[in-house]
């Protein structure tokens, strides 16, 4: 997966291959919800286990 920031439009892109999983204003590095949503679009589910 690649994460890119396009400064001219202040847009973040999260992609896997040629498929864009997330495009938006919020940084994927700062929001676990954004990454979880992108993984769900790719067919994977993020599981949180209690410690």
Q: What is the pLDDT of residue 8?
A: 94
Q: What is the mean pLDDT of residues 41-50?
A: 64
- The domain segmentation of the chain, as residue ranges, is 2-41
Tens digit of each residue's pLDDT (9 = 90 or more) over 9-35: 999 998 888 988 889 998 888 888 888
Q: What is the pLDDT of residue 46?
A: 59
pTM, rounded to two decimals: 0.69
Report residue 49's pLDDT band, with 50, 70 and 90 as the boundaries: very low
Read off the DSSP letter of residue 35: H
Write the DSSP string, 3-31. EEEETTTTEEEEEETTEEEEEESS-TTT-
What 3-state class would DSSP assign to 2?
strand
Q: What is the pLDDT of residue 48?
A: 57
């Amino acid at each position: 997966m690649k994460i890119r920031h396009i400064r001219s439009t202040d847009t973040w892109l999260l992609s896997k291959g040629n498929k864009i999983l997330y495009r938006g204003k919020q940084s994927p590095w700062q929001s676990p919800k954004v990454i979880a949503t992108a993984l769900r679009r790719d067919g994977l589910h993020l599981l949180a286990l209690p410690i």
